[in-house]
Structure 1
Amino acid sequence: MTINCKGNLIDLSTPKVMGILNLTPDSFFDGGKYKNDSEILSQVYMMLKNEATFIDIGAYSSRPNADHISEELELKRLLPIIDLIVKEFPEILISIDTFRSQVAKQGIEAGAAIINDISAGQLDNFMLETVAKLKAPYIMMHMRGTPQTMQKQTTYENLIKEMLFYFSERITKAKALGIIDMIVDPGFGFAKTSKQNFEILNKLNLFNILDKPILVGLSRKSMIYKTLENSAKEALNGTSVLNTIALQNGASILRVHDVKEAMECVKLVEQLKS
């Protein structure tokens, strides 16, 4: 499978790593970590050096019960950083983590390549139409409600079946508008309990029926550190274990805080397959 990013065909038959750059002060792991341009550029440099194919930039925290911020503040946080990074790394492939169509539009116009939407177009009625016009690859995640309400919406009759139906409906709608390059994200931790997260990971290969690349975002999440009875800061080893399982079950992209360790997982699993 390939996706077209700013005219570059990215082959996902070998899994790729997406490094996370949070610009929010309240993200669950690295909120407020990068305080100036130098620290941001240094982090991006290290992620690219460690072979990240994409850098995912988010300016709206989507952790459970996160504060809601305005579109204006999201843009104020985001656009100067895109400009800073693109000037320093002209060939970089930036993913914009947003559910707002105007933020997506302005982010792509500023030099980003991919739109990463936690709501699959359900929190902004203009998102799919905007993505179609921009002709950018689109990551659609499974979630119910909003970051503020999702933890109260974890009841399913048949979790995997309902998720597959959800993605089929969103993919059909996106295709009808002319969106070509789509990636599905099961949304670990979004309107799911820890037990449900492990069920999804165990059955991840069933999502191959959608015939779309699968992005997995497990990095340092509570399903890991609550199971191990430690903390997000201590969850790197657990993240590597679950990333390895995700790769074996069909993941095409790992979205992570720790690029070097994720790339080691990719290389080892690819060697195992060969």
Structure 2
Amino acid sequence: MRYLRPLPATISDGPRLAGGWMRFDRVEICERDRRPVIVPVGDLPEAELAPLIAPRPPLCGIPMDRPSIMGILNVTPDSFSDGGLFVHPDAARTQADAMSRADILDIGGESTRPGAAEVSAAVEIERVHPVIAALRGRALSIDTRKAPVAQAAVAAGAVLVNDVSAMTFDADMAATIAASGAAVCLMHAQGAPETMQDDPRYADVALDVYDALASRVDAAVTAGIPRDRIMVDPGIGFGKTQDHNLDLLRRIALFHGLGLPILLGASRKRFIGAIGSAPQAADRMPGTLAVTLAAVAQGVQMHRVHDVTAVAQGIALWREVGGYDGPVWN
């Protein structure tokens, strides 16, 4: 199998990557057990080029031809960065107001940090439902692996289900999402949160994650979820070492080959602290912004972050300083 990684260029006459803001004029062709080869985009057959250039339709009403922001709002006592800060609906509403520049807010009632223990669906619903109700009118996502939680959240107003297990944790999740009309983000993870960081291994992390996500996309479509309601996430930090994370970030443009919008969730994660000498998660905004802008320059459409205002400011400056060749956005 050939995997194609578009190489975006600041100045290029090539096609737009995924119909968005970056252009590309070369492609790295990757095959297992062979050295990659870089070829001009004009050398590709139309069938191989099509997924790389097809415009991505809006997802949950959010345009995918510009960078967008998903604000993280955890209503858990034990999330790695903001556990316990926003468990009360009033505190959650205040934080949501502070993230006014987010295109969508991701509400989570169960921590999936490395080593986290599972909580029941009932507890999860008890945590998230009052917050979703309090934020009705905003675009909301529910961060859950459980079908009953997804169903309750969508009924309360959520429009996206962000499943870190890519619908493998709960056998009822795919049918629940298909029937709900909600969109889904399928994230790759190797193992459960309790043990995923024990000894993660891959033959080639980018290609292995690509294959796994392709399989889950096929499963979603088979279950009745239209492709225009699907987004993919390579799952930074979920069953990956620091080297795995860096490899995925360097080659994240590879995932445009799936023909779907990409979400990146790297905000404040441990590898940022390790590389950037920031042991406290709250001090990792600069590193998060650096990773975000590197992904924006590879055409990644949505960015799941804690520090919404800072990241929005960084993207706005990136656009104005150079490298931007897409539609105008606020």
Check the 8 A contact 2:77/2:87 in 1, yes or no. no
Deviations 1:216-251 (A, max 9, x none): 011111010011222212211111111110111121
Check the 8 A contact 1:56/1:97 in 2, yes or no. yes
Q: Across the two proteins, how many residue pairs are aligned to each other?
A: 265
Distance in 2 between residues matched to 1:211 and 1:265, nearest whole Å:
27
Structure 1 residue ranges without an equivalent (≥5): none
Distance in 1 between residues matched to 2:185 and 2:211, nearest whole Å:
17
Which of 215, 218, 237 matches 2:266? Answer: 218
1:124-139 map, 5 Å: 124-139=170-185
Deviation at 1:3, TM superposition (A): 3.5
Distance in 2 between residues matched to 1:166 and 1:37, nearest whole Å:
37
Report the counterpart of residue 60 of structure 1 in structure 2.
110
2:256 is the counterpart of 1:204: no
Which of 15, 31, 35 matches 2:83? Answer: 31
Deviation at 1:177, TM superposition (A): 2.1
- What letter is aligned with 2:57? T
Distance in 2 between residues matched to 1:110 and 1:178, nearest whole Å:
22
Change (3 A) 1:125 1:240: same
Structure number with higher helix proportion: 1
Distance in 2 between residues matched to 1:143 and 1:125, nearest whole Å:
16
Report the counterpart of residue 67 of structure 2 in structure 1.
15
Report the counterpart of residue 33 of structure 2 in structure 1.
none
Check the 8 A contact 1:53/1:93 in 2, yes or no. yes
Distance in 1 between residues matched to 2:221 and 2:185, nearest whole Å:
13
1:255-266 map, 5 Å: 255-266=304-315
Structure 2 residue ranges without an equivalent (≥5): 1-55, 326-330
Deviations 1:31-65 (A, max 9, x none): 001253322211111111xx111000000000000
Which has the larger Rg? 2
Which of 232, 235, 247 matches 1:187? Answer: 235
Provide the alpha-carbon RMSD of the alignment: 1.2
SS of residue matched to 1:157: coil
- What letter is aligned with 1:110? A
Distance in 1 between residues matched to 2:225 and 2:266, nearest whole Å:
26
Which of 57, 61, 77 matches 1:2? Answer: 57
The normalised TM-score by structure 1 is: 0.93
Distance in 2 between residues matched to 1:153 and 1:143, nearest whole Å:
13
Which of 82, 95, 109 matches 2:132? Answer: 82
- What letter is aligned with 2:269? K
Identity over aligned pairs, percent: 35
Check the 8 A contact 1:247/1:269 in 2, yes or no. no
Distance in 2 between residues matched to 1:136 and 1:40, nearest whole Å:
23
Report the counterpart of residue 69 of structure 1 in structure 2.
119
Report the counterpart of residue 189 of structure 2 in structure 1.
143
Distance in 2 between residues matched to 1:149 and 1:163, nearest whole Å:
18
- What letter is aligned with 1:53? D
- What letter is aligned with 1:255? R
Deviation at 1:153, TM superposition (A): 4.7
Report the counterpart of residue 218 of structure 2 in structure 1.
172
Report the counterpart of residue 141 of structure 2 in structure 1.
95
Deviation at 1:81, TM superposition (A): 1.3
Deviations 1:58-90 (A, max 9, x none): 00000000122111111111111111221xxx2
